[in-house]
Chains A and B, each alone.
Chain A
Amino acid sequence: MASRTNNTFRYVDWVTIGLILVLLIFGWMNVLGASWSFDQTSWFDFSFRSGKQLVWIGTALLIGFVILMIDWKLIQDSAWILYSLMLLLLLITPFVARDIKGSLSWISLGPVSIQPAEFAKFTTALALSAYMSRYGFKLRSWRDLLIPLLILGVPMLIIMVMQKETGSALVFASFILMLYRKGMSGNILIAGLAAVVLFILALKAGILMTLLFVGIVILFSIGLIFYLRWKDNRKFKWRNVWLTLGIGLVCTGYSLGCNWAFQNVLQDHQQKRIAVVLGIMDDPQGAGYNVNQSKIAIGSGAVFGKGFLKGTQTKMNFVPEQATDFIFCTVGEEWGFVGSSIVLIVYLMLILRLITLAERQRDEFSMVYAYCIVGFMIFHLTINVGMVLGLMPVIGIPLPLLSYGGSSLWSFSIMLFTLLRLDAARVEKMR
């Protein structure tokens, strides 16, 4: 055990740990900024959020330390057990949860509330890694995708349908990056992108403009095919023409479906949030309130910001959820363009570092797992900061390591340190 621990600390990736610590410390300063009030006598007063967040950070680091100490084989071996236990917990949660703004995902344990859905990401990533690292498994066709989709789809559906926690469920979409890296067709990635673009177009520009757009793209593609035929007849296949027309048909149907689904499937508040982002609706007091206030707060930060604890917008409670999902507002207001860009770049560095770690893994399990974490980080960053900047609809997911809240901090700490533990064992695995 002693030598193994030594190895761990010799081979653990200190760059990642450094980046994590930078984000944690900066995050705490902003939670303090967002919840600072002038009645507060001490920064460490535990009845305030900044004090509580300090406890969360301390415990998160402790958990990280413990994870670095455990045997890496234990992580692999416990994947399925943890996954099954989490499914059970997710199923129970809606029945014991308190209703918080329509979401049934929080369990109260004495003075603290935790959100099991936050931790379901971790167990699902472990289960996927365990499945996809089985001997002989390879993602070659869509058939190989079925089981992985089932593994990630079950918890996702429970969270979305039973707990009514759309934001946390959407995070499961981020597994697409890992699946892509492990061999899933890139066309699916492109199709996903096309679906998002068409959805936005159908709602914002109207169904007629969308169909016109689809028509022009299809005509242009067919034109291109025939142009290439004229250039070089050998590569021409009629199949390509029919395929293009088929895609056009699917796109048309999809656009019509989007319009219908938007009005009939999505809930009222979800419709509003999307409509506000797309600029269809201006509602600065209702659904657009958060985003509008958050843009004002960020905009008022200007180039260098107002300075630590000097922000006014975020402190006046004009921005709701300012310490949790809208923490980036405080960053923007108090640290300005320079500070916010630095934070984003630190995030980018962390993500790129994680990709490097992922690529240097020597076993499938660790690599798949590492890419799951990379996916989470990119997804959370995109959705959360996109929302705060008014580029994405308001979906309540936290900014990893920065947002106030124990569940999110613990869950990311567990996920990242597990990755570091697996990475530190790579030398061992080589022997």
Chain B
Amino acid sequence: MINDDLYRRHHVVQAIAILVVMVFIVRLFGLQVIDKSYRNKSENISLVNQTIYPPRGLIYDRNGDLLVFNQPIFEVMLVVRDMTNAEEPFDTLAFCRSMGIDRDYFDRRLSEIRDRSKNPGYSQFRPQVFMTQLNSIDIAPLQQELYKLPGVSIRQRTLRDYTYPAAAQVLGSIGEVNQRDIDSDSYYQSGDYSGRDGIERTYETILRGIKGKEVLMRDIRGCIQGHYKNGELDEEPVAGDNLTITLDIQLQLLAEELLQGKVGSAVAIEPSTGEILALASNPTWNPSLLIGRQRSANYRELLNDKTKPLMNRATQAQYSPGSTFKTLQSLVCLQEGGITPQTLYPCSGKGSSPIKCTHHHGSPVNLINAIEQSCNPYYWQAFRDMLEKDGYGKDNEKFRARYQLWVDDMMSFNLGRKFEDSDISEQSKGSVPQVALYDKIYGKTGWRAMTIRSNSIGQGEVLVTPLQLCNAAATIANEGFFITPHLCKSDTFLRHRHETAVEQRYFPLVKQGMARVMTNGTGRHYALPDSITSAGKTGTVQNSRGRDHAIFIGFAPVENPQIAVAVVVENAGFGATWAAPIASMMMEQYLTGEVTRKDLRQRISSTVLNPNVINRK
């Protein structure tokens, strides 16, 4: 163009381009021709990051007894490219022989590894897990053949191991992470393990520790040449923290032993702290079944078992509370002014109709006798009078307001809801039927005390979990409050105190009634030995699936409660016959350290009430 001075500037632009390219060519000459270090470093050294897995934290019981620890396991890794690209063909036969597998399995496994839809992280250049969870005996033959199998390597990891064949549902298990875990937590890589359920899942971040890594040099044949920079960049793994849980393993073992051959659960709580001493659910299994190579097969078996062992009945099964509900019913009726401690109700006659008594005792009865004798008509009349105290009112308003009070009071015992501030991951809510529910079924004006009378004796729409029942027993033992039941042992952590809506002054009466159950009433055959006082309440719950459920709640000693218990045995018959002895022996074990009633123990633990229950211990 016209401006000569500016025209000359295009030479500057040309010069810049030429200069840049020249600098690059000089640099390339340096890297590729002069500097031979990149070539001679054993022909293309490359760096490999290898993860070192930290040992997972150990789990102890409340007395420092080791429950869960680690054992070493081995994994066989394949680098597909190194296998297929070696100078000599891969000796599949030798590999299969040393692994104890056949050719079909080898081919199938290899095609699974190469299938990106099943193994999205597949790369033929990186080690892929061929077989996992082998023990040192499984791996020994391969170790000897390793030198002639290019692309095959062995990686060591750890596996869980258990001191006692107990508490499987509480402890949970570890398994391989899924894609969702990998996406949501950058800690995980494909092939890692994490807690899948129970304590292992809840406290995963505490137990897992911090991964380490080593930076290794690898030559073109895929052989590791050693640590890069003598291991300067390696990072040691940090072991997971150990965990002490609140279980008393001896108590847990006893509970599981006594539940053998039956479907049911047993829960024990220390009332003053909310610490769960035992959380047993039967059918159960030996936790060792869910580790190692047999994990998936065993898991599938558990999943398909009709008795549903994988369900933790202690926290997830929901039952009508039956007569054990009368304890809470007493408290709420006293609190809301339906009855006084002196109120007497007849056990038969017009006023008590249509609820009939199932026990033989004097009539009329007061509150303490009603608990002792588990008098159904008493509770029906008390429940009715509490609800009808203000009459029904226009549009049923007054009655419904009274019922709402009853609901609120019951829910203050944490019925009808989960323990949200607890560390128990698998819980059911249970149910306290709400006003809205009955409005929906019967219409606002369509329901009366008579309509919902079954609730008075724990047979209606009220549903509870064994954990909630045990917590209710603990609340009565504490006279009005509970600490959220929890599993992690700590003096401060998780000590959440909750007050109930019932005043403290009503509790001693109910306690007295429950103590009478153990001395004169339905639980009298299973009072504790050595004059240890105890309190309890039996329940025999009608249900649609066969024989009655046997239920028992209680605590001991009465003056200074140290353990509260709830036991449910499904389709067993009377609560006094099946649930009470189990609870009684558990309380004895915890308070004295042994069970003196050897015959009773033998009789209960050897009785099979449900022939479908498989013993997997």
Q: Which of B12, B23, B47, B124 contacts A37 (CB 8 A)?
A: B124
Complex Cα–Cα for A37 and B124 (A): 8
Our count of residue pairs bridging A and B at CB distance below 8 angstroms stands at 121
The reply to whether B12 and A285 contact each other, CB–CB distance below 8 Å, is no
Does A223 have its Cβ within 8 Å of any Cβ on chain B? no
Most chain A beta-carbon neighbours within 10 Å: one of B17, B18, B123: B17
Asked if B24 and A385 make an inter-chain contact with CB atoms under 8 angstroms apart, the answer reads: yes
- Besides A39-B124, A299-B31, A299-B37, 19 other CB < 8 A contacts? A37-B124, A38-B81, A38-B84, A181-B13, A293-B47, A296-B45, A298-B28, A298-B38, A313-B46, A317-B126, A341-B25, A344-B21, A344-B24, A347-B21, A359-B7, A378-B17, A382-B20, A391-B24, A391-B27
A337 at the interface (CB under 8 A from B): yes
Please name the residue on chain A nearest to B37 by beta carbon: A299
Chain A 346-366, CB-CB to B under 8 Å as 1, else 0, gives 011001100100110000000
Complex CA distance for A177 and B293, rounded to whole angstroms? 66
B230 in contact (CB, < 8 A): no
Evaluate whether A358 and B10 lie within 8 angstroms (CB atoms) in the complex, with A285-B47, A386-B24 already known: yes
By a CB distance below 8 angstroms, the chain B residues around A400 are none
Residues of B within 8 A of A37 (CB): 124
Q: Mark B25-37, 1 if CB is under 8 A from A, else 0.
A: 1011101110101
Please tell me if B190 contacts chain A, counting CB pairs below 8 Å: no
Contacts of B32 in A (CB 8 A): 298-299, 301-303, 332, 336-337, 340
Nearest-neighbour CB distance to chain B for A71, whole angstroms, equals 25
CA distance A395 to B199 in the complex (A): 46
Complex: how many Å from CA A296 to CA B48? 14
- Complex: A254 Cα to B300 Cα, angstroms: 69
Q: How far is the CB of B60 from chain A (nearest CB, A)?
A: 37
For A317, the chain B residues whose CB sits under 8 A away are 123, 125-126
Closest to B85 in A: A38
CB contact list, A273-324 vs B, under 8 A: 284-285, 292-293, 295-296, 298-303, 312-313, 315-318
- Taking CB atoms, residues of chain B closer than 8 Å to A182 are 6
- Tell whether A345 is near chain B: CB-to-CB under 8 Å: yes
Tell whether B447 is near chain A: CB-to-CB under 8 Å.
Answer: no
B219 CB, min distance to chain A CBs, angstroms: 10
Residue B576 at the chain A interface, CB threshold 8 Å: no
CA distance A374 to B15 in the complex (A): 13
Fill in one digit per residue for A243-286: 1 if any B CB lies within 8 Å of its CB, else 0: 00000000000000000000000000000000000000000110
Determine if B9 is an interface residue (Cβ-Cβ < 8 Å). Answer: yes
A359 — which chain B residues lie within 8 A by C-beta? Answer: 1, 7, 10
Contact B25 A284 (CB under 8 A): no
B93 at the interface (CB under 8 A from A): no
29 contacts between A and B (CB under 8 A): A177-B16, A180-B12, A180-B13, A182-B6, A186-B9, A284-B228, A296-B44, A296-B45, A296-B46, A299-B31, A302-B33, A302-B39, A303-B33, A312-B44, A316-B46, A317-B123, A317-B125, A340-B28, A341-B25, A344-B21, A348-B18, A348-B21, A351-B17, A359-B7, A371-B13, A378-B13, A389-B27, A389-B31, A391-B24
Q: Which residues of B contact A340 (CB under 8 A)?
A: 28, 32
Distance in angstroms between the alpha carbons of A51 and B418 in the assembled complex: 55
| B532: interface (CB < 8 Å) | no
Is A195's CB within 8 Å of the partner chain B?
Answer: no
Is there an interface contact between A312 and B220, defined as CB atoms closer than 8 Å? yes
Q: Which of B21, B27, B39, B228 has the most CB of A within 10 A?
A: B21
Let me know if B215 is at the binding interface, CB within 8 A. Answer: yes
Q: Point out the residues of chain B lying under 8 angstroms from A381, CB to CB.
A: 20-21
Residue in A closest to B17 when the chains form the complex, CB atoms? A351
CA distance A295 to B45 in the complex (A): 12
Shortest distance between the CB of B13 and any CB in chain A (Å): 6
0 or 1 for each of A135-170: is its CB under 8 Å from B? (1 = yes): 000000000000000000000000000000000000
Interface of A is mostly: helix
Interface residues of A in 367-405 (CB under 8 A from B): 367, 371, 374, 378, 381-382, 385-386, 389, 391
**Interface contact B124-A332, CB-CB below 8 Å:** no
B-binding residues in A (CB < 8 A):
37-39, 177, 180-183, 186, 284-285, 292-293, 295-296, 298-303, 312-313, 315-318, 332, 336-337, 340-341, 344-345, 347-348, 351-352, 355, 358-359, 367, 371, 374, 378, 381-382, 385-386, 389, 391
A340–B31 Cα gap in the complex (Å)? 12
Residues of B within 8 A of A378 (CB): 13, 16-17, 20
Q: Choose one: A177, A186, A299, A332; the contact of B35 (CB below 8 Å).
A: A299
Residues of A within 8 A of B223 (CB): none
Number of interface residues of B (CB under 8 A): 44
What is the CA–CA distance of A386 and B16 in the complex, to the nearest angstrom? 14
In the complex, the answer to whether B13 meets A355 with C-beta atoms within 8 Å is yes
Contacts of A284 in B (CB 8 A): 47, 215, 228, 233
Cα(A284)–Cα(B46), bound, Å: 11
The answer to whether A39 and B114 touch across the interface, beta carbons within 8 angstroms, is yes
- CB pair B39–A344 under 8 Å, yes or no, is no
Give A101 to B203 CA distance when docked, in angstroms.
30
Give chain B nearest CB distance to A427 CB in angstroms.
17
Closest to B234 in A: A285
- CB neighbours (8 Å) of A316 from chain B are 46, 125
Considering only residues 306-352 of chain B, those with a C-beta below 8 Å from chain A are: none
* Least Cβ–Cβ distance between B107 and chain A, in angstroms: 16
Decide if B186 is an interface residue (CB 8 Å cutoff): no
Q: How far is the CA of A391 from the CA of B29 in the complex (A)?
A: 14
Max chain A CB contacts within 10 Å: which of B10, B31, B123, B126?
B31
Contacts of B114 in A (CB 8 A): 39
Verify if B14 is at the interface (C-beta below 8 Å from A): yes
Interface contact B215-A285, CB-CB below 8 Å? yes
A321 and B126 CA atoms in complex are apart in Å by 17
| Max chain B Cβ within 10 angstroms of own Cβ: one of A303, A345, A348 | A348
Which B residue's beta carbon lies closest to that of A182?
B6
* A183→B233 CA distance, assembly (Å): 52
Interchain nearest-CB distance for A112 vs B (Å):
20
Min CB distance B128 to A, Å, is 13
Report the separation of the CA atoms of residues A276 and B10 in the bound assembly, to the nearest whole angstrom. 35
What CA separation (Å) do A301 and B6 show in the bound complex? 43
Please, how many angstroms separate the alpha-carbon atoms of A106 and B9 in the complex? 38
Residues of chain A lying within 8 A (CB to CB) of residue B125: 315-317
Complex Cα–Cα for A230 and B31 (A): 49
Which residues from chain B contact A318 at a C-beta distance below 8 Å? 46-47
Q: Is the CB of B49 closer than 8 A to any CB of chain A?
A: yes
**Bound state CA distance, A3 and B1, in angstroms?**
28
Contacts of A177 in B (CB 8 A): 13, 16
Residues of A within 8 A of B25 (CB): 341, 344
Residues of B within 8 A of A352 (CB): 14, 17-18
Contact B39 A355 (CB under 8 A): no
Quick check: B81 and A337 within 8 Å, CB to CB?
Answer: no
Docked Cα-Cα span, A181 to B29, in Å, equals 32
The minimal Cβ–Cβ distance linking A101 to chain B, given in whole angstroms, is 13
The B118-152 residues at the A interface (CB cut-off 8 A) are 123-126
Q: Are A300 and B38 in contact (CB under 8 A)?
A: yes
Return A2 CB to nearest CB of chain B, in Å: 32
- Chain A residues closer than 8 Å to B17, beta-carbon distance: 348, 351-352, 355, 378
Nearest to A292 among chain B residues (CB) is B47
Give Cα A341–Cα B124 distance, bound, in whole angstroms: 32
Rounded to whole angstroms, the CA-CA distance of A358 and B17 in the bound complex is 15
**Least CB distance, B44 to chain A, in whole angstroms:** 5
Q: Which residues of B have CB within 8 Å of A302? A: 32-33, 39
Q: Which residues of A contact B84 (CB under 8 A)?
A: 38
Pairs of residues from A and B, 7 with the lowest C-beta to C-beta distance, nearest first = A299-B38, A337-B32, A316-B125, A348-B21, A351-B17, A299-B31, A318-B46
Residue of A nearest to B81 (CB): A38
Please, how many angstroms separate the alpha-carbon atoms of A337 and B14 in the complex? 24
Bound together, the chains give a CA A355 to CA B28 distance in angstroms of 25
The answer on a CB contact under 8 Å between B124 and A296 is no
Complex CA distance for A284 and B47, rounded to whole angstroms: 9
CA distance A182 to B6 in the complex (A): 7
In the complex, the chain B residue whose C-beta lies closest to that of A286 is: B233
Chain A contacts for B123, CB-based, 8 A: 317
